[in-house]
A and B are shown apart, each in its own frame.
Chain A
Amino acid sequence: MTHRPIHELTDAYRRGDLTPTAAAEDYLARIGALDGKIGAYLTVVRDQALAAARESEARWSAGSPRGPLDGAPIAVKDVLCTAGVRTTCGSKMLERFVPPYDATTVERLRAAGAVILGKTNLDEFAMGSSTEHSAYHPTRNPWDLTRVPGGSSGGSAAAVAGGLAAGAYGSDTGGSIRQPAAFCGVVGMKPTYGRVSRYGLIALASSLDQIGPFAQDVTDAAHLLAAVAGHDPHDATSIEAPVPDYAAELPKGVAGLTLGMPDEYFPDGMDPEVERAVRAAIDVLKGLGAKIERVSLPTTPHALAAYYVILPAEASSNLARYDGVKYGLRVAGRDLIDMESRTRSAGFGAEVKRRIMLGTYVLSAGYYDAYYGKAQSVRTLVRREFAAAFAKVDLIVAPTTPNVPFKHGEKQDPLSMYLNDVFTIPGNLSGIPGVSVPCGFSAAGLPIGLQVLGRPLDEARVLRAAYAYEQATSWRSRRPELT
């Protein structure tokens, strides 16, 4: 009854066929029944959710709902601070950390009347592409429980795919929304850098992180984005430009738009099923009136290396604060340095330690220019190439991932894990918006995603193209079988 997009739930609230409380109860029951298998959640806030649902219900009864998210049962990646509710970042380091403040995104969601069901699982400190690196438990892909949901926002993606939340929020630094969205057969969007406030988002890489929505369809994604986008005086990197009415723009279609297909995003050796599905999707868009052109983004093969210099550098800096002094885990030591070292060694998992070491190394004396300076210059090249491409085309269409969801434990080598993000990383380096929308399944029934990238602050056009494709197909009506 409730596993429907948010916009259909609110229609039902309006008609009186369904109440927010009943919807919340239903989702909580599903979580209780199924999350043991999926592992999407780290914390469920039953009482708070029901209280919020009841308040929403009162507003709907009075005919004065706050907006399209009033009463929407959603989940929030456990990387966003929620006042009074523990926020772990998937790490032992913050196992008992209870923030005294809400992230701006969370504040806006509460103001919109959303019903937050709980905090979802992630790769520890958002470092990963499979949600296997959470310190608590792995999350499983609802389409095939032996496979990963992607990462780092695997919990949020799996929650939406598995019907354990009607929508969700994650964070995307190198693809951590788009890649799990593709792996879980849902819509996932990373907005333009600066479009959504990062205040209260536990930082991974400050110049790359963005918050964005997971949704069952593009209409929901538009509403979920609009509710949290916009300038925040608490975030000096947040953009002042007004937020358009994304939902209103959706039906404009793609006739007359030029879409670019980058040569470098269809490399030899990519999974042939993925390639087939994505090319077919692009043909659909062509059939809807879009013009398709080839573009070239020659620095693409180096974007991964540049990212894996910049991200660890900024992350090592952002994670320096976890030292057992003011909050979080403390392991006793014979003196301060000993305490800090033991705390950090016990509190961080292997992948986090690896990236901290790498980041500290590339910033250290004598290596800055060769690594960090160089990587940031390569980043400038990546940005320029996108800008040049967008002078010719309105949007870029490409696969979201080079592969379909892999099995748990399959990718042990760090480098092979990093390769999951080849198609998403350049979008982060450039700060441009991108969405992943379901575009098919492999023969084994594993989801495949189509990625649409746009100019900075052109979320409306990105979503419009995704919507046009979505409405011309029916991938979203297929759901994983879960009992």
Chain B
Amino acid sequence: MIERKDVEHVARLTRLALSDAELERMREQLNSILAHLDTLRAVPTEGVEPTSHAVDVVNVMRDDTEGQCLSQADALANAPDPRGDLFRVPRIIEE
């Protein structure tokens, strides 16, 4: 069972600002979904390796050669607040 404070904690972790109404609705919906997901508990998986990679491939690496960079203009073209050469962001307050 997810409680209201769990929902608030998760929202903070993932940078979502939810209103009280949204938090409550989210809590209900997540609980009903999680109840369904809890059915996984019943599946016997002793000794079954988790799939962490979808292809049976290993050792894909690239050579240490230089490739094509974006121009500075292209890099900054979508920036919400470009300043000269840089991306500008509002002040950072430590949590």
Contact = CB atoms under 8 A, between A and B. Distances in A.
Interface size on A, as a range, is: 35 or more
Contacts of A354: 26, 29-30, 33
A361 B2 contact: yes
A415 B81 CA distance: 39
A237 B55 contact: yes
B55 A431 contact: yes
B71 to A, nearest CB: 8
A324 B81 CA distance: 9
A375 B92 CA distance: 37
B91 interface: yes
Interface residues of B, number: 50
Nearest to B55: A194
Contact of A380 (B14, B33, B36, B49): B49
Interface in A320-360: 320, 323-330, 332-342, 344-345, 348, 353-354, 356-358, 360
B93 A336 contact: yes
A267 interface: no
Interface string B1-44: 01000110011011111100000001001101110110111010
Contacts of A237: 53-55, 57, 60
B54 A431 contact: yes
Contact of A378 (B10, B13, B40, B74): B40
Contacts of A335: 90-93
Contacts of B30: 354, 357-358, 361
Main secondary structure of the interface of A (DSSP, over half): helix
A364 B17 contact: no
Interface in B62-89: 62, 70, 74-75, 77-81, 87, 89
A207 B7 contact: no
Contact of B16 (A357, A371, A373, A377): A357
Contacts of B62: 233
A368 to B, nearest CB: 11
A383 B51 contact: yes
A316 interface: yes
A475 interface: no
A233 B48 CA distance: 32
A336 B26 contact: no
Given A338-B90, A340-B15, A356-B16, A414 B26 contact: no
Contacts of B52: 207, 376
A336 B48 contact: no
A256 B39 CA distance: 40
A361 B51 contact: no
Given A101-B70, A305-B37, A378-B43, 19 more contacts: A98-B78, A100-B70, A237-B55, A302-B43, A306-B40, A308-B33, A308-B36, A325-B89, A326-B78, A328-B80, A345-B18, A353-B18, A353-B26, A357-B11, A358-B33, A362-B37, A374-B40, A374-B43, A380-B50
7 A-B pairs with least C-beta separation = A376-B50, A330-B80, A327-B78, A341-B17, A377-B45, A100-B74, A207-B54
Interface of B: 2, 6-7, 10-11, 13-18, 26, 29-30, 32-34, 36-37, 39-41, 43, 45, 48-55, 57, 60, 62, 70, 74-75, 77-81, 87, 89-93, 95
Interface of A: 96-98, 100-101, 193-194, 207-208, 233, 236-237, 239, 299, 302, 305-306, 308-309, 316, 320, 323-330, 332-342, 344-345, 348, 353-354, 356-358, 360-362, 364, 370-371, 373-381, 383, 414-415, 429, 431
